[in-house]
Amino acid sequence: TERSLVLVKPDGFARGLTGEVLRRIEAKGYRLAALAVTTPDTDRLHRHYAEHEGKPFFEPLVAFMSSGPVAAVVIEGERCIEGFRALAGATDPTAALPGTIRGDLGRDWGEKVQKNIVHGSDSPESAEREIGIWFPEL
Ligand code: GTP
Ligand code: MG
């Protein structure tokens, strides 16, 4: 069965939305396989966001992601990668549809970093790579 790496990003964690995100994951029927709260260092984030290196939002994104605790979660279930991205909604929380995590709970705060509450792996290859970064013991 498929696994995905979900992060409740610093904005979502600080707003107390971790429980709400986990509730939606469990209500959908996915299992929680690992769960940790940690403030990631920039080395870990450079590895996590390697595909975005060189883009204009890369350094602000890394700075934001290292600014406070996140909840890192491994979820499990058939097609949970695609399924969690559907739960999360579009990257831009203003455009994300109501009913999704970002659409219901996110907005534009007028900052250069796009704060959008959650991360979810985008492919099986990304998921296994990211799980190795956040949970090397798994
Ligand atoms: P993640 O699940 O967080 O990976 O989001 P995503 O897959 O929907 O987006 P993507 O991987 O393309 O980008 C990673 C993160 O970088 C996003 O979640 C945003 O926080 C940020 N980001 C992406 N594109 C932009 C952009 O054009 N401008 C800004 N400011 N931030 C962006
Ligand atoms: Mg992504």
Query: Residue 40's domain is classified under what CATH number?
Result: 3.30.70.141
Identify the pLDDT of residue 132. Answer: 98
In a structure prediction context, what are the per-residue pLDDT tens digits for the chain, which is 138 residues long?
A: 999 999 999 999 999 999 999 999 999 999 999 999 999 999 999 999 999 999 999 999 999 999 999 999 999 999 999 999 999 999 999 999 999 999 999 999 999 899 999 999 999 999 999 999 999 999
Residue 9 marked as a ligand binder: yes
Residue 102 marked as a ligand binder: yes
Identify the pLDDT of residue 29. Answer: 98
Identify the pLDDT of residue 1. Answer: 93
Residue 119 known to be catalytic: yes
Task: Check if the beta carbon of residue 72 is closer than 8 Å to that of residue 130.
Answer: no
DSSP letter for 78, please: T
Q: Is 119 in the pocket of ligand 1 (CB under 6 A)?
A: yes
Strand partners, 31: 76
Count Cβ neighbours within 10 Å for each residue of 19-41 and write b for 16 or more, e otherwise: ebbbebbeeeebeebbeeeeebe
Domains: count for the chain:
1
Q: Is 57 in the pocket of ligand 1 (CB under 6 A)?
A: yes
- How many secondary structure helices (H) and strands (E) does the chain include? 7, 4
Q: Is 121 in the pocket of ligand 1 (CB under 6 A)?
A: no
**The domain containing residue 74 runs over which residues?**
3-134
ipTM: 0.89
